[in-house]
């Protein structure tokens, strides 16, 4: 490990989307910044399109045998279940490396809309749910959404539609990425049904910019690191330039397990452990936690001391409560190429280029039961992932009959060459409630630290809008002539979309952080990953996390001075 200074102006735990803008802004403003990153530092040249590395092995994430989480939920009979992610084979890690999971994202970027900041005021209470308004409004975050567009590099085309959020600029800074002919099919079907479908903004460069190259349409994006730096990861968009200031130090493979206070309700030091088993202690003036929601919660709960018997900044007992994921569902339909002329079939099968369409017509819905307005969501469209192994494995069954030999080979060949699956993903609000939270488990990882016990039960009311939207999206697929149309809506949370659990608000009795993501009880502690969010909106979180991180960085620069 490199030799460290005795103390730093700012110590940041994590280096993903919640950390990147803070690292960038404070380093450029003269603050001496230390980043403690749990994972290694992969360079761009190391991100190859290797399916075994990216999706079949624990390379970018910890081995679940050594470092697992516990998942607690009720099964279909209502029986409580509590199992480790190692036992289930279901990882809740999302990228332990410099830049975090932003290296591996697909880059679907949507802004939250004004209504997302005012769910309680707009739609009223939902029995059993802990929905609240945000302490800030869309107008507070809009300038930072705009800043992210340029800093990260968002490609797309702004079009007017009923749920278009207000913008201070007319267009995205980069033109849209190349699209498959299927995008035109979606557009035509939407017109027939009266749906509003818009181009999807992506945090992927469509043209070269400085030392970043444009997307080269590899056909492998989500779950893979980008070999051209087109993808707007925290590593590429922020950390690389922050290093040039000379004010940034990054320590990799540094697992922070405790944050130490000074006896006067201020943070003084971070303790971390390195792969050789040695523990280290480093002092700082300001601390920023951005380790993704579950692990940020775990760190605060682990940091118990005489001032904070329940965990750091947790004297009100709210750390870990109201964890959020993204609710919604998935669906799919198949193009049978034998039903198209060869030129159209080749265009449908063109690899690499994107679908990049979002259905926005149902961001607000009418409850069929009482006619009241309820919050809806959006739908993103994408092709089945190009990974060949899972695509091939799915072909081994013909109903209940197991295929093998020549028959299986022929089926695999046909599926890979004469069928293409189009998928849709529904994003609706995961409702915060008392049954969705994170606490420390009595089970421990290989280092002896208690792991996070994640309670992933969903609120029953959150399924209603997803089911409505699924039916309407299936209608779009039928209009397009797709076959084998199906959809699935349930409470299974997507492990890569984590938020909440350290929510911000104006009242210290009902929130952990103030509106600047500064702990009510610890004035030099900030939390800037998605855990600050009291509600998540019906969009992927990353753009909002980036924008809020810029906002918090501006506040820190105003209220604190570098040494």
Contacts of 235 (CB under 8 A, 6+ apart): 15, 20, 97, 98, 99, 102, 103
The C-alpha atoms of residue 561 and residue 26 are separated, in whole angstroms, by: 10
Q: Which of 158, 161, 162 is nearest to 145 (CA)?
A: 158
8 Å CB contact between 471 and 461: no
Distances (CA, A) of 291 to 232, 262, 296, 298, 326: 18, 23, 5, 10, 18
The C-alpha atoms of residue 5 and residue 417 are separated, in whole angstroms, by: 58
Q: Domains of the chain, with CATH numbers?
A: 9-559 (3.50.50.60)
pLDDT of 1 reads: 73
203 backbone dihedrals φ, ψ, rounded to 5°: -85, 55
Q: Which long-range contacts (CB under 8 A, 24 or more apart) does 182-190 make?
A: 182/335, 182/348, 182/355, 182/383, 182/422, 183/354, 183/355, 183/356, 183/357, 185/480, 186/355, 186/357, 186/381, 186/476, 186/480, 187/357, 189/476, 189/479, 189/480, 190/359, 190/476
DSSP assignments along 539-554, one per residue: S-SHHHHHHHHHHHHH
H helices within 2-123, ranges in order? 20-28, 51, 85-88, 119-123
pLDDT of 213 reads: 97
8 Å CB contact between 90 and 491: no
The DSSP bridge pattern shows strands 326-336 and 419-429 to be antiparallel
pLDDT of 385 reads: 96
Q: Which of 200, 156, 160 is nearest to 174 (CA)?
A: 156
Alpha-carbon torsion, ordered 433, 527, 14, 276, to 10 deg: -90
Token pair recorded at residue 58 = 């624990």
447 backbone dihedrals φ, ψ, rounded to 5°: -90, -5
Residues in the chain: 563
The C-alpha atoms of residue 517 and residue 216 are separated, in whole angstroms, by: 38
Distances (CA, A) of 192 to 242, 360, 424, 505: 49, 15, 19, 44
pLDDT of 75 reads: 86
Task: Judge residue 402's burial from the number of C-beta atoms within 10 Å of its C-beta, 0-12 exposed, 13-18 middle, 19 or more buried.
Answer: exposed
Go through 521-556 and write b for each residue having 16 or more CB atoms within 10 A of its CB, e for each that does not.
bbebbbbbbbbbbbbbbbbbbbbbbbbbbbbbbbeb
Residues of the chain predicted below pLDDT 70: none
Number of other CB atoms surrounding residue 503 within 10 Å: 27
471 backbone dihedrals φ, ψ, rounded to 5°: -65, -40
pLDDT of 203 reads: 98
Distances (CA, A) of 498 to 13, 220, 320, 458, 511: 17, 23, 12, 14, 18
The C-alpha atoms of residue 460 and residue 445 are separated, in whole angstroms, by: 33
pLDDT of 80 reads: 93
8 Å CB contact between 54 and 223: yes
Indicate if the alpha-carbon torsion angle 57, 59, 61, 67 is positive or negative.
Answer: positive
């Amino acid at each position: 490990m490199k030799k460290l200074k005795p103390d730093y102006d700012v110590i940041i735990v994590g280096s993903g989307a919640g950390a990147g803008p803070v690292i960038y802004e404070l380093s450029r403003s003269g603050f001496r910044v230390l980043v403690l990153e749990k994972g290694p530092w992969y360079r761009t040249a190391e991100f190859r399109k290797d399916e075994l590395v990216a999706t079949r092995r624990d390379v970018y994430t910890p081995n679940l045998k050594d470092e697992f989480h516990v998942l607690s939920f009720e099964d279909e009979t209502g029986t409580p279940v509590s199992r480790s992610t190692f036992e289930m084979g279901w990882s809740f890690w999302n990228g332990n490396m410099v830049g975090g999971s932003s290296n591996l994202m697909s880059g679907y970027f949507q802004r939250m809309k004004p209504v997302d900041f005012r769910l309680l005021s707009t739609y009223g209470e939902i029995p059993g749910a802990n929905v609240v308004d945000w302490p800030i409004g869309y107008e507070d975050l809009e300038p930072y959404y705009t800043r992210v567009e340029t800093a990260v590099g968002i490609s797309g085309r702004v079009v007017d539609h009923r749920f278009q959020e207000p913008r201070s600029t007319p267009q995205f800074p980069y033109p849209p990425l190349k699209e498959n002919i299927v995008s035109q099919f979606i557009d035509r079907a939407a017109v027939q049904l009266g749906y509003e479908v818009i181009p999807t903004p992506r945090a992927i460069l469509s043209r070269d910019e400085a030392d970043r190259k444009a997307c080269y349409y590899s056909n492998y994006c989500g779950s893979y690191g980008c070999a051209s730096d087109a993808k707007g990861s925290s590593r590429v968009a922020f950390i690389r330039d922050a290093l040039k200031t000379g004010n940034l130090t990054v320590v990799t493979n540094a697992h922070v397990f405790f944050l130490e206070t000074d006896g006067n309700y201020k943070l003084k030091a971070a303790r971390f452990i390195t792969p050789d088993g040695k523990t280290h202690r480093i002092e700082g003036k300001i601390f920023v936690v951005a380790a993704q929601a579950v692990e940020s919660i775990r760190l605060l709960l682990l940091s118990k001391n005489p001032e904070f018997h329940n965990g750091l900044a947790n004297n009100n007992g709210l750390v870990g409560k109201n964890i959020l994921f993204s609710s919604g569902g998935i669906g799919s339909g198949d193009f049978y190429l034998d039903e198209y002329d060869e030129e159209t079939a080749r265009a449908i099968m063109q690899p690499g280029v994107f679908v990049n369409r979002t259905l926005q017509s149902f961001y607000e819905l009418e409850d069929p039961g009482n006619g009241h307005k309820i919050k809806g969501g959006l739908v993103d469209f994408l092709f089945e992932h190009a990974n060949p192994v899972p695509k091939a494995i799915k072909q081994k069954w013909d109903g209940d009959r197991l295929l093998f030999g020549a028959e299986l080979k022929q089926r695999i060949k046909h599926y890979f060459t004469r069928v293409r699956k189009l998928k849709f993903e529904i994003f609706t609000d995961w409702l915060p409630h008392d049954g969705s939270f994170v606490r420390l488990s009595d089970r421990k990882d290989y280092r002896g630290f208690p792991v996070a016990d994640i309670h992933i039960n969903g609120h029953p009311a959150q399924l209603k809008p997803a089911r409505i939207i699924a039916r309407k999206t299936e209608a779009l697929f039928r209009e397009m002539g797709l076959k084998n149309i199906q959809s699935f809506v349930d409470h299974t949370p997507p492990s890569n979309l984590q938020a909440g659990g350290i929510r911000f608000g104006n009242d210290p009795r009902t929130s952990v952080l103030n509106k600047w993501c500064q702990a009510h009880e610890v004035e030099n502690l900030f939390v800037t990953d998605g855990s600050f969010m009291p509600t998540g909106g019906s969009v992927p979180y990353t753009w909002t996390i980036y924008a809020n991180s810029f906002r918090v960085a501006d506040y820190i620069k105003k209220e604190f001075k570098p040494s």
